[in-house]
Structure 1
Amino acid sequence: MKKVLMIYPYFSTGIKKDQLFPPLGIAMLSGVLKGMGIEVMKLDCTFLDIDEAVKRAAEFDAQITGIYVMTTLSENALNILKRLRGKRPDSIYIAGGPLPTLYPQRFAEKFDYVFRGEATIAFTKFCSDYMASFEKTGFMEAMDPEEYPGIFSGSGLESEPVHLEKIEIDSCPIPDRSGFDHEKYQKVSFESTGRKSASIMMTYGCPFSCDFCSKPIFGSCVRFRSLDRVFEEIYDIISYGYDSLWIADDLFTYDMGFLKMFCKRLIREDIGISWSCLSRVDSVTGDIAALMKMAGCKKVYLGIESGSDEVLRLMNKKITPKDVISGVDTFKNSGLECSGFFIVGYPGETVQTIEKTFEFALSLGLDEISFNVPYPLPGSKLYERVSGISDEDWTFENETRFLYESEFDENWLSKRIRQTMEEFERVKMTL
């Protein structure tokens, strides 16, 4: 028996989401494991309940079970782990993802092993070697941790997070998207946007150090995938019935050379697929924005965050409101839709700077805006400064709710966000 189970422990709460995609992480691992001749089950819990998820997991009876853990999924992950251990105690249980990368000791107390960082190569090699061994206990006792970078356990195995080189990234097959409920994902996407979107990643890492950002998996070094691999994946995505891409890179527009080559190849191959991406406001010229439009880009999502110079400095955004105005104009003049993300109630700002951000958001002529309170991600500088965070707080979705002790009143802030959104919709109606 050579079976690996990988679990993505997100359960849809019914709250409307603009972006809901099959999980890329376990799809990437599955592609590598299948190439090694290992039977894989990708258990995406999105459209299941926990009882059905545990039932399917137990019936698969895997030798190794990997569970993806990020901040908002930690409670689900630990609940599934507890229930599965009771049903399948002989399986090896492994945690991966952002939270185990940041706090390996915490998860090593509950899981057999943790893999830190980009585990695509190390985790899959561990699975292959373990299953090839005749004596499982002997394998564990004699295991050389240097063979599996990023591995961590409570019994003394310690390591730093792993970040793959470009050549290692390109050596991996494209993500295995088979078996996901594509019909349901496409239905959710189409109802929200009028397009059937799937996610894809083309670059890894971000060189900037925003105060509120945490990047434990991909780190600060930017690496670019081979465009041949990228386009192989795009054609695979299309084969499942998708007609649009959400480019999930932290900073897709970071390198103008890579962006230009991607756009020109899309135009040349005439794939006919639309796409959207994240971008900084200060990274794209008018010529490049026009090329993005020609290549099928529909919308860019901009991390604007604030209309106050002072607050932007607190956030270490390395932009100014003037940069924002110029960047939004650049994209909109090229016919691209612009969505702006804003953060209000940041530690160190005032009611006056919050109101300035509301006013600024309404003045930019954006096609879409959203406001959130600061979200102190573990690993961020913001997380280190605030206090009063409770682990169970992470499970809330789409609420104006502080996870730490803030000087701002949540009710007042919720009211002002609602009023600003209503004003935004009124302004849009007159355009």
Structure 2
Amino acid sequence: MIKTLLVKWHEHLGPSSVYPQSVADAVGCFPPLGLGYLAAVLRKAHYPVELLDVNALKMSEKKFQEVIGRIQPDVIGLTSMSLVWPANVRASQLIKEVLPDCLVVVGGPQLAAYPRESVSFDTIDIGVRGEGEETFLDLVRRLDNKEDITNIPGTVVKKNGKIVVNAERLLVSDINKIPFPARDMMPMDKYHCAVLQKPFVTMLTARGCPYACGFCCKHHWGNTLRQRDPENIVTEMEQIVETYKPKEVLVYDETFTINRNRVFKICDLIRERKLKIKWDIRTRVNLVNREILKALKSAGCYKIHFGVESGSQKILDKMDKKIKLEEAMHAFRIANEIGFETMAYFMIGYPGETLKTIEESIQFAKELNPTWVDISIAIPYPGTDLYNMAMSEKWLDYDYWKEHALCHQNGRIRRFAGEDYSEDELEKLLMKFYRKFYFRPSYVLNRVLSLRSLSQAKSYFNGFKALVLANV
């Protein structure tokens, strides 16, 4: 039978990073859920499969080649975000040096943006666009049956010297049918994050997002929201708690509370099954109220991640965020009253930003009083409205991400200068925001008083050190 190895390669930050390296290191290392789903699907179909998280294991190139030489897979699957694409091309080169006949398959959001460019390398054989579960299984089955693999929907292939983008594959309509990720193949003890208690586990209860924020790319899962059933979700939670005994479970959905009845049912089931679980959700400030937050709190949810993005209504409107500052204030006020920890995500440097609007965001973050903030610089990623606008308005004088996909690009992608700050000042403004929020004496005292374990203290210290050492 066809043997598959799924690889999560190093996430070396290139010049396009939204964080200084020290801050990125503190942000953490997370389980590759996408590969976990692929592994689970292949295993359910009785195909031999292994998962190797090179990034989490901090594996050297030499060690990686030794490991794949020992495993001798027929197929190696790599996944990549656009930001770290060149590193994955390097991984494909290392694979072919050791296993020249191994089929190298690449997938992830990068393939949706630039399919032909991504498969143009001699060391990459096939690309998978969009959701990979059905496409990858189809590929392995055809290989096993010695059938034609050049016309599989959802793939990018090389045929007669040309790169062919095959028809798109329909999204999985019922995601309840996808088996739970193969976490047993992952080094779960190696994952860490400055704002999550270790050990932690991540999970998804939905795919897709119906909103259209200008900075967000949704090539991979699309605009159609597909949600798992409450029973399916809570059964996975039970398995997670029983197997991994995590101190925290992070639900990755962008808009967990968009379907209120589903939220209430999930909370009811957690209580009915007497499941002891601490979990986080991510959602929008306009999708919560006191009733929903009380239900979540009663079911063990203790932290909520909100995308605030800016303290300026003018910038929020430019982002097409579809929220009001008053909604953010209301959401954080009731979340704090009920006793949640909160995370507020902000972004600086969006077109139209000024030093005044950045200062408004800093002050607004303090007014919201979240437990944590996460701040990034606006980057026009491929496939976003922001990137399309940057190209059409000639803010970018060439297609950066196309050159990046071809590994021709070594320079940093253009950020957006403001009326009164330069593009090069953005990282300093980013660190100013971080430090003005986190270095407040009252904040530091509250965090020290909240410490409950040595590992938590170490995590906080590492995050603090990252802000001090950030070289900007």
The normalised TM-score by structure 1 is: 0.88
CA contact (8 A) 1:163 1:219 kept: no
Query: Equivalents in 2 of 1:424, 1:381: separation in Å?
Result: 36
Seen in structure 2, the aligned counterparts of structure 1 residues 383 and 152 have a Cα distance that, compared at 3 Å, is same
CA contact (8 A) 1:342 1:371 kept: yes
1:269 corresponds, among 253, 260, 273, to 273
Provide the residue aligned with 1:178 in structure 2: 184
Seen in structure 2, the aligned counterparts of structure 1 residues 393 and 277 have a Cα distance that, compared at 3 Å, is farther
CA contact (8 A) 2:197 2:248 kept: no
Is the aligned partner of 1:123 residue 2:129? no
Query: Equivalents in 2 of 1:34, 1:430: separation in Å?
Result: 47
What CA deviation, in whole Å up to 9, does each residue of 1:300-336 have, x standing for no partner? 1111011111100111100111111111122222221
CA contact (8 A) 1:201 1:249 kept: yes
Query: Equivalents in 2 of 1:349, 1:11: separation in Å?
Result: 29
Seen in structure 2, the aligned counterparts of structure 1 residues 405 and 192 have a Cα distance that, compared at 3 Å, is closer
Provide the residue aligned with 1:91 in structure 2: 102
The normalised TM-score by structure 2 is: 0.81
Seen in structure 2, the aligned counterparts of structure 1 residues 235 and 419 have a Cα distance that, compared at 3 Å, is closer
Seen in structure 2, the aligned counterparts of structure 1 residues 352 and 243 have a Cα distance that, compared at 3 Å, is closer
2:413 corresponds, among 366, 383, 403, to 403
Provide the residue aligned with 2:452 in structure 1: none
Higher RCO, 1 or 2 (CA under 8 Å, sep at least 6)?
2
Provide the residue aligned with 2:74 in structure 1: 63
| Alpha-carbon distance, 1:227 to partner | 2.9
Query: Equivalents in 2 of 1:129, 1:392: separation in Å?
Result: 31
Query: Equivalents in 2 of 1:259, 1:240: separation in Å?
Result: 24
| Alpha-carbon distance, 1:116 to partner | 0.7
| Alpha-carbon distance, 1:374 to partner | 0.7
| Alpha-carbon distance, 1:426 to partner | 3.5
Query: Equivalents in 2 of 1:330, 1:215: separation in Å?
Result: 30
The aligned amino acid for 2:279 is W
Provide the residue aligned with 1:5 in structure 2: 5
What CA deviation, in whole Å up to 9, does each residue of 1:109-153 have, x standing for no partner? 1222111101101211210221122xxxxx33xx472xx321122
| Alpha-carbon distance, 1:365 to partner | 1.9
| Alpha-carbon distance, 1:107 to partner | 1.5
The aligned amino acid for 2:184 is S
Provide the residue aligned with 1:164 in structure 2: 171
| Alpha-carbon distance, 1:414 to partner | 4.2
Query: Equivalents in 2 of 1:312, 1:402: separation in Å?
Result: 25
Q: Which runs of 5+ in 2 are unaligned?
A: 13-20, 405-410, 448-472
Query: Equivalents in 1 of 2:434, 2:232: separation in Å?
Result: 43
Provide the residue aligned with 1:136 in structure 2: none
Seen in structure 2, the aligned counterparts of structure 1 residues 54 and 74 have a Cα distance that, compared at 3 Å, is farther
Query: Equivalents in 2 of 1:281, 1:415: separation in Å?
Result: 25
DSSP-derived class of the 2:258 partner: coil
| Number of matched pairs | 412
Provide the residue aligned with 1:398 in structure 2: none
Query: Equivalents in 2 of 1:96, 1:193: separation in Å?
Result: 28
Provide the residue aligned with 2:331 in structure 1: 327
Provide the residue aligned with 1:346 in structure 2: 350
For residues 270-349 of structure 1, the aligned pairs below 5 Å read 270-349=274-353
Query: What is the aligned-residue identity percentage?
Result: 23
Provide the residue aligned with 2:407 in structure 1: none
CA contact (8 A) 1:18 1:193 kept: no
1:212 corresponds, among 211, 215, 218, to 215
| Alpha-carbon distance, 1:295 to partner | 0.6
Query: Equivalents in 1 of 2:30, 2:66: separation in Å?
Result: 23
Provide the residue aligned with 1:225 in structure 2: 228
DSSP-derived class of the 1:287 partner: helix
Provide the residue aligned with 1:21 in structure 2: 30
Question: Please, which moves more after superposition, 410-419 or 341-350?
Answer: 410-419
What CA deviation, in whole Å up to 9, does each residue of 1:50-95 have, x standing for no partner? 3222321232111111110112331221111011112111111111
Seen in structure 2, the aligned counterparts of structure 1 residues 161 and 421 have a Cα distance that, compared at 3 Å, is farther
2:52 corresponds, among 37, 43, 47, to 43
| Alpha-carbon distance, 1:175 to partner | 1.4
CA contact (8 A) 2:156 2:166 kept: yes
What CA deviation, in whole Å up to 9, does each residue of 1:342-369 have, x standing for no partner? 1112111211111111111111122112
Q: Which runs of 5+ in 1 are unaligned?
A: 134-138, 395-400
